[in-house]
Structure 1
Amino acid sequence: MTIPASLLTRRPARQGPAVSLLPDEAELSLVLSRVHEACGPARRTLALWLAARTTGPVIWIAPEWGPDRLHADGVMRLIDPARLIFVHPKRPEDLLWSMEEVLRAGAVALAVADLPGLPGLTPVRRMHLAAETGTQEGQHAPLGLLLTPGTGGAQGVETRWHLAGAHQGKAPGWRLERLRARTAPRKSWTLAQGGAQGQLHIAQA
């Protein structure tokens, strides 16, 4: 049997369509049709950055009993609050079920699940399959983002990112870390916001 040359190469597998946190920054890309993880104290900011890089409605799933809720005035500087559609399940098991169903529908480009803890490996695998189904049968190739507390650690996710504030006086800044990726090493960046229009950019890698 002849083994295809593509299986013998040490190069990473070819990436599919993706959304980048910053324009023209391939290293900060999240592949579509997959589920990713964001953790750290500024994880919701990272989710809103991604939302700003997509179009159309964004489904934001969070527990009904959770104390942390997005506020329209707080997100307005990043995206139009009218794009956010909130889903607040009453039971813990319905959080992951809701995320799976949203991804399977392929009706939105971005779905965010703000979780109080880490999901198991099986639910994450189910969400990957649901996102692939949504890509084939829906209107969008959906990107799923799981927001997890602390330093995260969900098994089976495509990538894991950690975001924390690193402000310098009145100048806003953040430290972004790629903690896990299937085809890329661990890496960190310092991001800043400035310029005439307050655009986000890499200050240091």
Structure 2
Amino acid sequence: MTTHLLARRSQKAAKGLELGDGLCLPDGRVHEACGPARHTFAMWLASKLRGPVLWIVQPHRRTQLNAAGIAPFAHPGRFAFVTPDKVEDVLWCMEEGLRAGCTGMVVADLETLPALTPVRRLHLAAEAGGGRSVGLLLTPGHGGAQGVETRWHMAQAPEKSWRLERLRARTAPPAGWMVQGLPGTPALVPAGAEVAHSA
């Protein structure tokens, strides 16, 4: 019986959102994206998922998405936008979206880093929703939210390419890749063991 339980956990852990080159964001967990191209990273994830995307952002933010920016990655009709007035309501909306378990991804576009306790609540909500949704926190600067499953930094590079860095992951070391072909069918090329930013 113990072996059966361990096998079930292993199979569940293997499920996730595949980006290519062995990169995977586990389902039913909350991840973080930072860097100047964090919105592009979120669009890339949306293009890999099925189902609606719940996007939560305060109405005064300058980084509001528009259909023209979404369309190269995914159909804009897949996106539902929630614009709560209060900062604390952004994470509450994300928690409820993850708990519902009826979206492919729930994104919270934040101006500041969340505390550890709300992030833990988000993980619990994702599990309560059946682990079917990917949670993504968009954070400023180089990020640093505590308790996230993975942290990614993305920035534009020369010649229509992107520099993607995995700054933190529970089960993998920091690493970097050059990404070409976004949107569309991106190709990832390892950029060496060193990353530009520390976790």
Q: TM-score range by the shorter chain?
A: 0.7 to 0.9
Q: Distance in 2 between matches of 1:109 and 1:91?
A: 25
1:173 deviation in Å?
Answer: 0.2
Identity %: 52
Q: Give the TM-score taking structure 1 as reference length.
A: 0.85
Q: Distance in 1 between matches of 2:106 and 2:161?
A: 25
1:200 corresponding residue in structure 2: 186
Give the secondary-structure state (helix, strand or coil) at the position aligned to 2:129.
helix
1:18 corresponding residue in structure 2: 16
Give the secondary-structure state (helix, strand or coil) at the position aligned to 2:92.
helix
Q: Distance in 1 between matches of 2:184 and 2:142?
A: 28
1:148 corresponding residue in structure 2: 139
Of 106, 115, 118, 2:113 maps to 118
1:103 corresponding residue in structure 2: 98
Give the secondary-structure state (helix, strand or coil) at the position aligned to 1:162.
strand
Runs of 4+ in structure 1 displaced over 6 angstroms? Answer: none
Give the secondary-structure state (helix, strand or coil) at the position aligned to 2:14.
coil
Q: Give the TM-score taking structure 2 as reference length.
A: 0.87
Q: Distance in 2 between matches of 1:158 and 1:199?
A: 25
1:67 deviation in Å?
Answer: 1.4
**Residues 185, 204 of structure 1: alpha-carbon distance in 2 compared, 3 angstrom cutoff:** closer
Q: Distance in 2 between matches of 1:114 and 1:125?
A: 18
Indicate conservation of the 8 Å contact 1:20/1:50, yes or no.
Answer: no
Q: Distance in 2 between matches of 1:91 and 1:64?
A: 10
1:167 corresponding residue in structure 2: 158
Q: Distance in 2 between matches of 1:117 and 1:95?
A: 11
Q: Which runs of 5+ in 2 are unaligned?
A: 192-199
Q: Distance in 2 between matches of 1:29 and 1:203?
A: 15
1:198 deviation in Å?
Answer: 5.0
2:62 is the alignment partner of 1:42: no
1:165 deviation in Å?
Answer: 0.3
Q: Distance in 1 between matches of 2:34 and 2:52?
A: 23
Give the secondary-structure state (helix, strand or coil) at the position aligned to 1:21.
strand
Indicate conservation of the 8 Å contact 2:55/2:81, yes or no.
Answer: yes
1:66 deviation in Å?
Answer: 0.9
2:148 is the alignment partner of 1:157: yes
Indicate conservation of the 8 Å contact 2:58/2:87, yes or no.
Answer: yes
- How many residues are paired up? 185
**Residues 100, 198 of structure 1: alpha-carbon distance in 2 compared, 3 angstrom cutoff:** closer
Higher Rg of the two aligned structures:
1
Indicate conservation of the 8 Å contact 1:103/1:127, yes or no.
Answer: yes
